[in-house]
């Protein structure tokens, strides 16, 4: 277990090394000996850490040639490579723009296609989200769960595969949500849920669009302060 923990830590350090080194797709990394000297660990530990990164499609290990930055950098746990984008404000702004295009349609499809079981799960998540907000506890994960379930309710496999875009958008925005906006957050999620529950596709679409535009405007205001 200790060796596993060490290799995980070194894998994270290698991730930072890749980010800070601004490596391009297809670029070759230093060899195991050089990385071992750089990070102060054995070559076996480096080898384990590299295998971990390879399993996440961050690097490609080519026998006899070396280790290279993958063409699908981060596809496994970061499908669109968001963790490699340094300008977080620009990322937040662009994600909001994309979400305004995608999520209102997801909400409309959810109202049309969700099963009763899907809607029950969505309602439970809405309740749990509200409870966390009222307790002033971190609700970021529950917010992501709600939007993820909404995509599931759409019964559209393409929409479901866009969940990483949605979740990243929630994560990068959550840090600027003020307590004064908590009631609006509760209200907007309730309106989305009720529209889906009552099969009102157009209302679900509008409720989601209002929710996202409100957040976008809040971000712009915070950015300009």
Contact call for residues 114 and 155 (beta carbons, < 8 A): yes
What's the predicted TM-score (pTM) here? Answer: 0.64
- Calculate the CA 54 to chain-centre distance: 20
Model pLDDT for residues 189-202, shown as the tens digit of each residue: 999 999 999 999 99
Model pLDDT for residues 106-157, shown as the tens digit of each residue: 999 999 999 999 999 999 999 999 999 999 888 888 998 899 899 999 999 8
Query: Where do runs of H (alpha helix) occur along 21-67?
Result: 32-39, 43-55
Model pLDDT for residues 28-73, shown as the tens digit of each residue: 999 999 999 999 999 999 998 998 888 777 888 888 889 998 865 5
- How far apart CA 175 and CA 8 sit, in angstroms, is 27
Is residue 92 scored above 50 in pLDDT? Answer: yes
Domains of the chain in sequence order: 2-69 (1.10.10.10), 85-224 (1.20.120.530)
Report the sign of the C-alpha dihedral through residues 219, 100, 85, 159, in that order.
Answer: positive
**Confidence at residue 126, expressed as pLDDT on a 0 to 100 scale:** 97
């Amino acid at each position: 277990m200790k060796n596993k923990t060490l290799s995980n830590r070194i894998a994270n350090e290698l991730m930072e090394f890749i980010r800070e080194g601004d490596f391009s797709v297809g670029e070759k990394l230093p060899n195991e000996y050089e990385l071992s000297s750089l990070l102060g660990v054995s070559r076996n530990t480096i080898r384990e850490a590299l295998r971990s990164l390879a399993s996440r499609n961050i690097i490609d290990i080519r026998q006899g040639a070396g280790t290279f930055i993958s063409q699908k950098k981060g596809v496994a746990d970061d499908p669109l490579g968001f963790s490699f984008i340094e300008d977080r404000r620009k990322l937040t702004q662009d994600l909001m723009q994309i979400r305004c295009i995608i999520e209102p349609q997801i909400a409309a499809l959810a109202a049309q296609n969700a099963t009763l079981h899907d809607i029950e799960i969505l309602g439970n998540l809405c309740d749990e989200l509200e409870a966390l907000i009222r307790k002033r506890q971190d609700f970021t994960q529950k917010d992501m769960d709600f939007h993820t379930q909404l995509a599931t309710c759409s019964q559209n496999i393409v929409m479901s595969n866009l969940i990483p875009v949605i979740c990243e958008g929630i994560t990068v925005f959550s840090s600027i949500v003020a307590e004064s906006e908590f009631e609006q957050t509760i209200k907007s999620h309730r309106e989305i849920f009720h529209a889906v529950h009552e099969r009102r596709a157009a209302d679900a679409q509008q409720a989601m669009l209002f929710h996202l535009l409100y957040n976008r405007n809040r971000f712009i205001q915070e950015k300009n302060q």
